[in-house]
């Protein structure tokens, strides 16, 4: 019997809805506030001009500099094609398709479920509490055959940190049974909250980091997995032989130099003060029902008639991230913090819209 190409594909791939990335969703804007990127480029010069040789699997300068930055040993660091690859590597190393499961607590980052679906691993979602903290009793009930729990702190898209006491309780209930992956993609905006110091106490803790947000390098595709050596050794078994192109390692090394880190910290301080300004401005608008506090480079807010607000801004070239269809986030839009001009343009547009609709 002959089958068409579609029918030859795996069932889970045929039914898969791919991750709706900001880039995929498109738009024709000049104010891009939808992907939590840093709003301005950081410039680099390639120091390595020859590309005839394969790169190192784990470029030494990158893992050593990241380890120093994170206060860890190089053997506790894995570098990969963005944190997104780290999310998937943990599943591929620890979860048996069709047998093991992962667990996460929505509303949260969308790639945990997309990766699980792609690989064919069952996923369980245990909704966060109303204050967006972990529902620990509900998690405890769902842990059977769970091998990895993904926990994002500060959480995307809500912007809040997860209570460290709850994380300790989660680590206690999963000890010896499952890994806990703490996604710290935004930790540079609240560095005191990192769990990196906890690695010495918890062999089953894994931390994800990225150069895509505070380091202003989303286009580089470079991320890190931090864990104890036994975990890293397993992940290295399943990673591609050359995950990082030579120019990527080159630029990542520069971003992680003392100068690069200093520049990142200056950028973070600027964004954090702009966030304070936005948190002051947004609640004054009649269209805005609720503004959630944030430890990150974005703000989640609930609007009256958010589809109309989203569309009107979109038509003016101001592109936000619509969270309306996300469970628990009806009426919510996520706003990445841009340049001062971009933030002012956003507030001006929302003011005009508030007047128009009053
Ligand atoms: C942006 C983001 C990532 C992905 O980071 P990359 O390094 O660009 O792959 C992972 N987790 C969360 C929560 C993010 O917001």
Closest-CA residue to 260 (of 73, 76, 68) = 68
Q: Is 301 helix (H, G, I), strand (E, B) or coil?
A: strand
Q: Which atom of ligand 1 is found nearest the CA of 108?
A: 13
Q: Which atom of ligand 1 is nearest to the CA of 82?
A: 7
Give the Cα-Cα-Cα angle 159, 165, 170 (nearest 5 degrees).
90
- Measuring CA to CA, which residue among 154, 153, 156 is closest to residue 111? 156
Cβ pair 76, 99 in contact under 8 A: no
If one residue of 85, 111, 182 were mutated to test the ligand 1 pocket, choosing by the most ligand atoms within 8 A of its CB, it would be: 111
Q: What is the mean pLDDT of residues 68-90?
A: 98
> pLDDT tier at 355 (50, 70, 90 boundaries)?
confident
Q: Compute, in angstroms, the gap from residue 336 CA to the centroid of ligand 1.
A: 14
pLDDT, the chain, mean: 96
28 confidence band (pLDDT: 50, 70, 90) = confident
Using most ligand atoms within 8 A of CB, pick from 88, 162, 185, 217 the residue to mutate for ligand 1: 185
Residues near 272 by beta carbon (within 8 Å), at least 6 away in sequence: 189
152 lines ligand 1 (CB under 6 A): yes
Cite the beta strand spans of 24-65 per DSSP E. 31-32
pLDDT at residue number 3: 83
253: how many CB neighbours lie within 10 A of its CB? 20
User: What is the strand order of the sheet 321-322 is part of?
Assistant: 288-291, 298-303, 332-336, 321-322
Which pLDDT tens digit goes with each residue over 38-52?
999 999 999 988 999
Each residue's pLDDT tens digit, 194-249: 999 999 999 999 999 999 999 999 999 999 999 999 999 999 999 999 999 999 99
**Where is 183: in which H helix or E strand?**
strand 179-183
pLDDT at res. 48: 81
CB 145 within 8 A of CB 101: yes
**Percentage of the chain surpassing pLDDT 70?**
100
Element (H, E) at 209: strand 205-210
Give the residue, by CA position, lying nearest to ligand 1 atom 12.
185
Mutate to test the pocket of ligand 1, among 156, 297, 323 (most ligand atoms within 8 A of CB): 156
Mapped onto helix, strand or coil, the DSSP state of residue 7 is helix
225 CB near ligand 1 (under 6 Å): no
| pTM to 2 decimal places | 0.96
**For residue 132, what pLDDT band results from cuts at 50, 70 and 90?**
very high
CB distance 247 to 46 below 8 Å = yes
Q: Is the CB of 102 under 6 A from ligand 1?
A: no
Which residues, 6+ apart, have CB-to-CB distance to 43 below 8 Å?
A: none
pLDDT value of residue 152: 98
pLDDT band at 90 (very low <50, low <70, confident <90, very high): very high
Ligand 1 pocket residue status of 223, Cβ below 6 Å? yes
- Kindly list the distances between the CA atom of residue 353 and the CA atoms of 257, 285, 339, in Å, as whole numbers in the listed order: 45, 9, 21
3-state secondary structure (DSSP) of residue 210: strand
Neighbouring C-beta atoms of residue 281, cutoff 10 Å: 17
Does residue 345 sit in helix, strand or coil?
Answer: helix
């Amino acid at each position: 019997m002959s089958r068409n190409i579609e029918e030859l594909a795996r069932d889970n791939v045929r039914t898969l809805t791919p991750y709706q990335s900001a880039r995929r969703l498109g738009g024709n804007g000049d104010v891009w506030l939808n992907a939590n990127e840093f709003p301005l480029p950081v410039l680099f010069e390639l120091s390595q001009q020859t590309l005839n040789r394969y790169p190192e699997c784990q470029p030494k300068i990158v893992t050593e500099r990241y380890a120093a930055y994170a206060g860890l040993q190089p053997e506790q660091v894995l570098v990969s094609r963005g944190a997104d690859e780290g999310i998937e590597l943990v599943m591929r190393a620890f979860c048996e398709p069709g047998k093991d499961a992962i667990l996460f607590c929505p509303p949260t980052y969308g790639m945990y479920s997309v990766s699980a679906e792609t690989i064919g691993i069952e996923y369980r979602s245990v909704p966060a509490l109303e204050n967006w903290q972990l529902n620990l009793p509900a998690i405890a009930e769902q842990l059977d055959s769970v091998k990895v729990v993904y926990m994002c702190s500060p959480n995307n898209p809500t912007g809040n940190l997860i209570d460290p006491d709850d994380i300790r309780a989660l680590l206690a209930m999963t000890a010896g049974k499952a890994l806990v992956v703490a996604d710290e993609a935004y930790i540079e905006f609240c560095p005191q909250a990192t769990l990196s110091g906890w690695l010495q106490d918890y062999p089953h803790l894994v931390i994800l980091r990225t150069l895509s947000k505070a380091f202003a390098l989303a286009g580089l595709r470079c991320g890190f997995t931090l864990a104890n050596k036994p975990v890293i050794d397993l992940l290295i078994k399943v990673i591609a032989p050359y995950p990082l192109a030579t120019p990527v390692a080159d630029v990542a090394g520069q971003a992680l130099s003392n100068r690069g880190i200093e520049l990142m910290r200056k950028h973070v301080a600027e964004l954090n003060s702009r966030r304070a300004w936005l948190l002051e401005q947004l609640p004054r608008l009649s269209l805005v029902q609720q503004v959630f506090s944030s430890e990150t480079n974005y703000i989640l807010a609930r609007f009256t008639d958010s589809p109309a607000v989203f569309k009107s801004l979109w038509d003016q070239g101001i592109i936000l991230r619509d969270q309306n269809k996300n469970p628990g986030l009806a009426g919510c839009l996520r706003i990445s913090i841009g340049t001062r001009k971009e933030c002012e343009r956003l507030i001006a547009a929302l003011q005009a819209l508030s007047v128009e609709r009053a």
